[in-house]
């Protein structure tokens, strides 16, 4: 019996200290509750999503702003998009709801690290506006062009840090949209940057790529060449020019290189350099 008690004590001491911390256990509980809600939201048997969405919006801000929430991995929320900045200052959660094949709604939160272990949480509120060709716009967390963010990259220039987000909007049954846009942290809140993208002689607020929903394209940051790379899109036939539901990749690649505080467009990137 003495040997058994000794082994139990050793096991208890070997447990990670955070697993015994009440704050950590509360985060585990909140994560499990949120996971169950998202499973319900995406269940084929759900007939009324609004109560589930409302419950998620009740729990999530409190959970994400709790002490220790910035260090908590939230790895069980694998049914939604969760991306983290390299410097640990920013984490973004996004998810969507399909009302029908032509209408989608998007939801999200930005979790922002503050000094002295303080956390601020901002809800991303979908303005439900079409995103086609919107390369200049006033976008805020309160007036957000909804999308799912799937990658973030961090760049610095003149002591300012920029977080560039790659996102996808399912748009409708005919075309899909991918976007590239940049935010910074200003006055303790996220700000969507303007004129961060140099495309020829034009400076625009973001990059918008619309293409047929029947094809797939790649838009991603490649750390090996320090560029954002993406498929070059062309219409399937010249008669479909500017009719984006008939656009697709032509086998070549374009890119963006961060230069002197701007993302500068480069056409026809050598595909042999891509991973």
Distances from the Cα of 244 to the Cα of 177, 180, 214, 248, angstroms: 10, 18, 12, 8
Cα separation, 34 vs 211, in Å, equals 33
Give the list of residues 6+ apart from residue 109 with CB closer than 8 angstroms, or none. Answer: 60, 61, 64, 92, 93, 121, 122, 123, 124
Q: What is the pLDDT of residue 123?
A: 98
Q: What is the pLDDT of residue 20?
A: 58
Q: Hey, where are the domains in the chain?
A: 16-67, 81-273
Give the list of residues 6+ apart from residue 79 with CB closer than 8 angstroms, or none. Answer: 35, 38, 39, 42, 95
Residues of the chain under the 70 pLDDT cut: 1-20, 116, 271-275
pTM value is 0.90
Pairing of strands 219-222, 189-192: unpaired
Q: What is the pLDDT of residue 118?
A: 87
Residue 31, SS3 per DSSP: helix
Q: What is the pLDDT of residue 275?
A: 57
What is the C-alpha R_g of the chain? Answer: 22
């Amino acid at each position: 019996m003495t040997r058994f008690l000794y082994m139990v004590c050793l096991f208890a001491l070997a447990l990670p200290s955070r697993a015994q911390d009440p704050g950590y256990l509360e985060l585990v509980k909140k994560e499990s509750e949120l996971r169950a809600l998202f499973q319900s939201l995406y269940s084929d048997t759900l007939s009324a999503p609004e109560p589930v969405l409302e419950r998620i919006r009740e729990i999530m801000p409190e959970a994400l702003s709790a002490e220790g929430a910035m260090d908590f991995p939230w790895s069980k929320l694998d049914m939604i998009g969760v991306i983290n900045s390299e410097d640990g200052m920013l984490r973004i959660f996004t998810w969507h709801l399909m009302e029908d094949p032509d209408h989608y709604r998007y939801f999200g939160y930005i979790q922002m690290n503050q000094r002295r272990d303080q956390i601020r949480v901002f809800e991303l509120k979908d303005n439900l506006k079409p995103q086609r060709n919107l390369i200049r716009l006033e976008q805020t967390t309160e007036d957000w062009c909804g999308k799912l963010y799937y990658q973030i990259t961090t760049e610095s220039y003149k002591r300012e840090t920029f977080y560039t987000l790659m996102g996808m909007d399912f748009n409708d049954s005919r075309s899909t949209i991918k976007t590239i846009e940049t935010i910074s942290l200003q006055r303790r809140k996220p700000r969507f940057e303007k004129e961060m993208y140099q495309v020829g002689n034009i400076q625009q607020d973001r990059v918008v790529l619309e293409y047929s929903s029947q094809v797939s394209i790649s838009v991603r940051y490649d750390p090996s060449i320090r560029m954002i790379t993406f498929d070059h899109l062309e219409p399937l036939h010249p008669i479909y020019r500017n009719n984006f539901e008939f656009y697709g990749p032509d086998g070549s690649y374009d890119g963006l290189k961060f230069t002197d505080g701007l993302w500068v467009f480069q056409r026809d990137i050598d595909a042999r350099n891509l991973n």
